Structure 1
Amino acid sequence: MGDEAKIKYEEEFIVNSRGMRLFTCRWLPVNQEPKALIFICHGYAMECSVTMNSTANRLGKAGFGVYGMDYEGHGKSEGLQGFVNSFDDVIQDCSTHFTSICEKPEHKKKMRCLLGESMGGAVALLLHRKMPQYWDAAILAAPMCKIADEIRPNPVMINILTAISKIIPTWKLIPTKDIIDIAFKEPQVRDQIRENPLCYKGKPRLRTGYELFRVSSEIEQRLHEISLPFLVLHGEEDKVTDKSVSIELHRVASSSDKTIKLYPGMWHGLLYGEPPQNLEVVFKDIIHWLHTRCLHANARIERDLKHQHDDEQQQPVILQKLP
């Protein structure tokens, strides 16, 4: 295996604040400390244990600890399949679970990186907004900062669907193209997703669609607030999320460390939907970027250690009187 680390895969269920069982999983290097912690934020209608497995394995073999969670209504987690009642709940679930891992004593000195794909890119950016100083880096693969015009309903239809979603939120009424056909270039990947019962294949439910439009529109208006180091990746031929907004994100974000990679001829599914030779290019870029960030002194870790040291220095000294 050369320099590749062996990895072990583990999974378990946790219970969120609303009493729902959520599926979580992790891919960890065997017999070595992970170089950094990477937290997967999967895409809409997708899940972690199957569709993100190849991504996690690549990163695990490169020496990183990788953690994933299926959102409510996705994959093996509880909830009506394909239904997101509140994106805020998704963010809270991810934040609670991911930070509980980061706060373990053995992980205190590890770099914390979010990896968001498509809708998961929006999740990653909202996690950063929720705790701006907490996350050290983000990798954003075709992030949902704006839904592409090709699949977005017209404004009149959006207004109608928004009103109806308050009455019948779970109904599958949103007219869209078959996302699988236009997202993943490799026919065998499309077949695998269609055959995977953990992936939702129906039309978007009304409330879910409303939440996706709401969140992507909000993110698009606040790109300048993003301040963490990030790598944004986008296929030039993406017809699901808008590459021009990824370009705008790179231009206006306040981050001092920001990189963009645009891939000619590639589609939306950069992490597992492209031919093998294209995936090699994408993951070479991702892993190189991660290794470079790990080599540099991590500002957050240094800050935390300094605060810890300062707190220890400020502890009151109790002098015992001699008799």
Structure 2
Amino acid sequence: MAKEMDDVKYHEEYVTNPRGLQLFTCGWLPAYSSPKALIFLCHGYGMEVSGFMKACGVELATAGYGVFGIDYEGHGKSMGARCYVQKFGHLVDDCDRFFKSICALEEYREKSRFLYGESMGGAVALLLHRKDPTFWDGAVLVAPMCKISEKVKPHPVVVRLLTQVEEIIPKWKIVPTKDVIDSAFKDPIKREKIRKNKLIYQDKPRLKTALELLRTSMDVEDGLSRVSMPFFILHGEADTVTDPEVSRALYERAASADKTIKLYPGMWHGLTAGEPDENASPTRTSTSSSPTSSRGSTTAATATVRPGKTGRGSRRCSTRWPLPTAAAVATTARWHRTGRRSSGAAPASSAG
């Protein structure tokens, strides 16, 4: 199914994964030109792409990018038990297969390709990079799940007890944790709007899912030094869902020569959809600005390392808050330069 939205073309399609489940995919493309680069969306736990991430897709496509997303198994419009993650690697493999099938198309083979991951999707993006370290040209990571915050993690004793029964009752919704929507999205009006999206999972985490997320976050945290692609992290310092200190650790430990982190004082987990307008509105005015803009304000602390420079980067502040979509536009514009891969080599497709 394809739709026209002013300067953006939108389409939907279902693909089948190796486990026989139909997965929902969608894309936003510039209506009147070839995309200058490709951006692949990795959504968060319980979320979906066609509604929750629509504004992101439209904004990036309007800026000239080809944007593609997939609802993970059990999420959004995809088949599978609701928000049941039997094995986190399945999500990563499904994304890898679909994303690479797009990159292998004749018209896209020489396009630069970037990942955009929010929350759990940040972990998906990092594991996609680990799976094929030279394939991706960079990533924008929004409050990435490098570690689940201690404030929402069950007590270690509870985790041990749950581990003992995970193969017996894997789908039971019994994990004691705080409501993620209440913890993630600050603005009450926007929070209620999110609750009205029936494609978003709003029940307690399933036993196996919670343990898979916990193990994955530990694995990602242990492998921070293996990250070598360019990346841009954005994280609210008041985030109680994923730990901003581990985003800081990713910035410090990663082998990447080109990396940037922005930490936003007082801002919560839901940077793209949950902040009050007075926090979010500068995002829309800074779409074309540099993600490391001028000094002089006290809004967001920034550290940046560029190729050819050493050390931890300069600590600075920006006069505007280039939050996720704006950062993606500005950062990928710098990364891909001409919008074509320098090697000109066609990526191998793992679609099957």
Give the TM-score taking structure 1 as reference length.
0.90
Partners of 2:185 and 2:275 within 8 A in 1: yes
Which residue of the other structure, out of 260, 265, 286, is the alignment partner of 2:328? 286
Secondary structure, aligned partner of 2:124: helix
User: 1:302 is matched with which residue?
Assistant: 342
Aligned-pair distance for 1:296?
Answer: 6.7
- Larger relative helix fraction: 1
User: 1:179 is matched with which residue?
Assistant: 180
Spell out, residue by residue over 1:63-91, the C-alpha distance to the aligned partner (whole angstroms, 9 max, x if none). Answer: 11110000000000000111111111111
Spell out, residue by residue over 1:241-290, the C-alpha distance to the aligned partner (whole angstroms, 9 max, x if none). Answer: 00000000000000001110111121101122223343313143332112
User: 2:129 is matched with which residue?
Assistant: 128
User: AA paired with 2:251?
Assistant: H
Query: In structure 2, do the counterparts of structure 1 residues 240 and 61 end up closer, same or farther at CA, with 3 Å as the change threshold?
Result: same
What is the Cα-based RMSD across aligned positions, in Å? 1.8
User: 2:246 is matched with which residue?
Assistant: 245
User: AA paired with 1:290?
Assistant: T
User: AA paired with 1:66?
Assistant: V
Secondary structure, aligned partner of 1:26: strand
Partners of 2:21 and 2:80 within 8 A in 1: yes
Partners of 1:55 and 1:272 within 8 A in 2: no
Partners of 1:54 and 1:272 within 8 A in 2: no
User: 1:221 is matched with which residue?
Assistant: 222
Query: In structure 2, do the counterparts of structure 1 residues 296 and 251 end up closer, same or farther at CA, with 3 Å as the change threshold?
Result: farther
Partners of 2:11 and 2:28 within 8 A in 1: yes
User: AA paired with 2:80?
Assistant: G
Partners of 1:74 and 1:82 within 8 A in 2: yes
User: 1:211 is matched with which residue?
Assistant: 212
> For the residues of structure 2 that align with 1:265 and 1:290, how far apart are their CA atoms?
27
Residues 1:196 and 2:236 are matched in the alignment: no
Secondary structure, aligned partner of 2:41: strand
Residues 1:155 and 2:197 are matched in the alignment: no
> For the residues of structure 1 that align with 2:95 and 2:53, how far apart are their CA atoms?
16
Aligned-pair distance for 1:297?
Answer: 8.4
Higher radius of gyration, 1 or 2: 1
Residues 1:17 and 2:18 are matched in the alignment: yes
User: 1:315 is matched with which residue?
Assistant: none
Query: In structure 2, do the counterparts of structure 1 residues 205 and 237 end up closer, same or farther at CA, with 3 Å as the change threshold?
Result: same
User: AA paired with 1:154?
Assistant: H
User: AA paired with 1:158?
Assistant: V
User: AA paired with 2:93?
Assistant: Q
> For the residues of structure 2 that align with 1:177 and 1:238, how far apart are their CA atoms?
13
Query: In structure 2, do the counterparts of structure 1 residues 277 and 33 end up closer, same or farther at CA, with 3 Å as the change threshold?
Result: farther
User: AA paired with 1:292?
Assistant: R
Secondary structure, aligned partner of 1:181: helix
Q: Sequence identity, in percent? A: 50
Uncovered stretches (5+) of structure 1, i.e. residues with no partner: 308-323
Spell out, residue by residue over 1:30-78, the C-alpha distance to the aligned partner (whole angstroms, 9 max, x if none). Answer: 1111111000000000001110111111111111111000000000000
> For the residues of structure 2 that align with 1:242 and 1:73, how far apart are their CA atoms?
25
